[in-house]
Amino acid sequence: MAQHGVAQIWRRIRAIYNIEGNTCKTCDTYYFPPRPVCPTCRRKGVLEDHKFKGLGKIHTFAVVRQAPDDFKRQIPYVIAQVELDEGARVTAQIVNIDPEEVEIGMRVRACFRKITQAGTAGVIVYGYKFEPVLKVTGHSYP
C-alpha cells in the first residue's frame, strides 16, 4: 500500500535526527529549523550549517493529559520549549522524567526517540526529544 507524505519526512531526516540548523555569521544568531535567509540581516546575512550540541534548558513547558490517538500510550507527558545553549528555541517532548519533576530552567540533553508512526504498516518517524542530563561517573556535567 502506498503511503503519502514520505518525501516530506525524508527531507527533514538529517535535521530532526541531529538537530541540524544554521547560523548567521553577520549577526551571530542560530536558527532551528534552518532558515533560507537571516530575517534580521536579509541580503547581508551569511548563513552556515550548524549542528547543535543538543544541550539546553527548559524555557517553559506544559503537561499533556488529553492526547491524539498516536500519543495515548504516553499520557501524561511533557511538551516543552527548550532553549538550546547556542540560543535557538525548539519545541519538544521531555522524556525520562515524571511530569511532577519538570521545572523551568532545568538542564536537558537531546536524546533519540520514536516521534510517531503511521499505523502498524507505515513509516516510523524518529527524531529528537529531550531528557534530564545524565550522571556520568568520573565527569562533572554542567
Partner 1 sequence: MVGIVGYGVYVPRYRIKTEEIAAVWGEDGPKLAKGLGVFEKSVPGPDEDVATISVEAARNAIKQGDIDPTDIGAVYVGSESHPYAVKPTGTIVAESIGCTHDITCADFEFACKAGTAAVQTCMGLVDSKMIKIGLAIGSDTAQGRPGDALEYSAAAGGAAFLIGKKKPVATIEETVSFTTDTPDFWRREGEDFPSHGARFTGEPAYFRHVGAGAKSLLKKTKTTVEDYDYFVFHMPNGKFPIAMGRQLGVPPEKLEDSLIVRQIGNTYSGSAMMGLARILDIADPDSKIFMVAYGSGAGSDAFSIKVEEEIESRRGEVPTMDDYIARKTYVSYAVYAKYRRKIVALG
Residues forming the site for Zn ion (CB under 5 A):
24, 26-27, 38, 40-41, 45
Under rule CB under 8 A, residue 65 binds partner 1: no
Q: Between 30 and 126, whose beta carbon lies closer to partner 1?
A: 126
Q: Amino acid letter at 83?
A: E
d(CA 122, CA 5): 11
Under rule CB under 8 A, residue 126 binds partner 1: yes
The least CB distance from residue 141 to partner 1, in Å, is 10
The least CB distance from residue 50 to partner 1, in Å, is 13
Work out which of 12, 25, 51, 53 binds partner 1, going by CB under 8 A. Answer: 51
Nearby residues of 78 by Cβ (< 8 Å), 6 or more positions away: 61, 62, 63, 64, 93, 94, 95, 97, 99, 102
Place of cell 545553549: 85
Q: Amino acid letter at 101?
A: E
Task: Work out the angle at residue 9's Cα, subtended by the Cα atoms of residues 1 and 134, and round it to the nearest 5 degrees.
Answer: 120
d(CA 58, CA 130): 9
Per partner kind, with CB cut-offs from 5 to 8 A, the member of partner 1, Zn ion, none near residue 118 is none
Site for partner 1 in 79-98 (CB under 8 A): 93, 95-96, 98
Q: Which residues bind partner 1 (CB under 8 A)?
A: 13-14, 17-18, 51, 69, 72-74, 93, 95-96, 98, 111-115, 119-120, 124, 126, 129, 134-139
